[in-house]
Amino acid sequence: MILYRQAGGTAVRFAEQQLSGRRIAVRAQPYVGDAGATRFLFDPIEKNFSARALSGTVAVGPFDPESWRSALATHPAGAVLIGPSDPEERIRGSYRAAVEGAASAGRGAYLWDPEPGLLSEDLPRTFVAVFVLLPSPGTATARLLAASRRGILAGGLLPLIPGWTDSATSIETIVADAAAAGAAFVAPLSPVWDGPARRLMVEARADAEPAAADAFFERIHHETLCDESAFHLSEACRRAGILDMPVRARGVSEPLANSAAAAHLEEKAFAEKNNEHRAARLLAAARWVDELGRDLGVIVREGNLGKIFPFGPELARETEIGSSAAKGVETHVDAQ
């Protein structure tokens, strides 16, 4: 039995983190607890499974959007990850309130495992729903389909786990199914690979597919992570005509040029993640754009970006190139 109790406030945590290459400034959790209807949950930020009890206590956040707006309106600037949802959402409405609060606060939002039919009809079209495709790809894909049928921009996040989801065949099938369900992307998650994390992987696989448990146990303790599966995923996405990185969420008050520039910088950082120093500089530039507080398109059109940009001319050019994806933004790359 799961006992739901009203929390004393909003569960909001400001900390810069990564969602398959996209910058997250804050997490909002409408439901907090170690109990849930599903036995295992893969957290796309922590990149690890957590075991959940079938009985326990879950703290439920406020059901009024204003409480969430007030909590999310403060700095630092950047997108929020909201979720996951809970079967009790149909009664409680805390997840929907958090989404509406984020919209009112002007933040872009990634909606982790929402219940599509319970979201507002006025949901910003620039919000992005993300569904982790484990431990049950079929269940997650069905929810993704429901989201896409409602016109919600949605995609999948796939943990690349040796012996489970790392083969070219498995990846091709999962990506093809997600694309058929309307996914705009399927992005990789590289899981934590320490002993406790692998133990949870074994338990999650045994729970989802008992017949595969013994063989998986043998593989998971004798293999290492490699980049080949990420390449297979990228190629499968290319063949399916979808992206291999989440679409960047944008807040309703965020200028289009700023969002386009930050998206470009995040994508460059993700592509160069093996060069930690350069990736960190690119993400710092994306953070600067998020915190700018002015329309980057105007600054670029006036030729003033180089005067205020703190990361040097090379990254200033990358920022201008990114901003040019927004209609009406003319770059000054050749003039610098």
Single-letter amino acid code for the residue at 188: P
Q: Is the domain of 161 the same as that of 103?
A: yes
Which residues lie across from 298 on neighbouring strands?
Answer: none
pLDDT tens-digit map of 117-165: 999 989 999 999 999 999 999 999 999 999 999 999 999 999 999 999 9
Q: Is the domain of 234 the same as that of 260?
A: no
Q: Is the domain of 30 the same as that of 66?
A: yes
CB-side neighbour CA atoms (13 Å) of 189 = 24
Query: Measuring CA to CA, which residue among 110, 117, 140, 130 is closest to residue 38?
Result: 140
Q: Is the domain of 267 the same as that of 328?
A: yes
Hey, how many other C-beta atoms are within 10 angstroms of the C-beta on 175?
27
Structure tokens at 254: 């965020």
Q: Is the domain of 298 the same as that of 234?
A: no
Q: Is the domain of 105 the same as that of 32?
A: yes
Task: Identify the helix (H) or strand (E) that includes residue 58.
Answer: strand 56-60
Q: Is residue 10 part of a domain?
A: yes
CATH code at 130?
3.20.20
List of residues 6+ apart from 260 with CB closer than 8 A: 322, 323, 324, 325, 326, 329
Q: Is the domain of 187 the same as that of 289?
A: no
d(CA 227, CA 266) in angstroms, rounded, equals 19
Query: Measuring CA to CA, which residue among 65, 98, 68 is closest to residue 84?
Result: 98
Q: Is residue 215 part of a domain?
A: yes
List of residues 6+ apart from 187 with CB closer than 8 A: 20, 21, 155, 156, 157, 158, 243, 244, 245, 246
Query: Measuring CA to CA, which residue among 190, 108, 116 is closest to residue 151?
Result: 116
Q: Is the domain of 268 the same as that of 231?
A: no
Q: Is residue 251 part of a domain?
A: no
* pLDDT in the model for residue 112: 98
Q: Is residue 249 part of a domain?
A: no
Q: Is the domain of 103 the same as that of 175?
A: yes
The mean of the pLDDT values for the chain is 93
* pLDDT in the model for residue 327: 56
Q: Is the domain of 96 the same as that of 233?
A: yes
- Of 208, 240, 272, the last residue of a domain is 240
Backbone dihedral region for residue 107 (phi beyond 0: left; psi -120 to 50: alpha; all else: beta)? beta
Which residues lie across from 13 on neighbouring strands?
Answer: 27
Q: Is residue 247 part of a domain?
A: no
Q: Is residue 40 part of a domain?
A: yes
Q: Is residue 245 part of a domain?
A: no
* pLDDT in the model for residue 162: 92
Q: Which spans in 273-331 are helix H?
A: 276-290, 296-301, 305-308, 313-323
Query: Measuring CA to CA, which residue among 9, 125, 134, 119 is closest to residue 60?
Result: 9
Task: Identify the helix (H) or strand (E) that includes residue 44.
Answer: none
Matching residue, tokens 């002007």: 106
* pLDDT in the model for residue 334: 42
pLDDT tens-digit map of 63-75: 999 999 999 998 7
Helix 168-180, helix 137-149: angle, nearest 10: 30
pLDDT tens-digit map of 231-282: 999 999 999 999 999 999 999 989 999 999 999 999 999 999 889 999 999 9
* Total tally of structural domains belonging to the chain: 2
* pLDDT in the model for residue 269: 96
- Of 187, 208, 240, the last residue of a domain is 240
With H, G, I as helix, E, B as strand and everything else as coil, classify residue 25.
strand
d(CA 82, CA 26) in angstroms, rounded, equals 9
Q: Is the domain of 204 the same as that of 316?
A: no
Structure tokens at 250: 């944008």
Residue 228 backbone dihedrals phi, psi, to 5 degrees: -65, -40
- Is the pLDDT at 331 greater than 70? The verdict is no
Q: Is the domain of 157 the same as that of 261?
A: no
Q: What Rg do the C-alpha atoms of the chain give, in angstroms?
A: 20
- Is the pLDDT at 226 greater than 80? The verdict is no
State which residues form the domain around 83. Answer: 2-240
Q: Is residue 184 part of a domain?
A: yes
Maximal CA-CA distance, the chain: 66
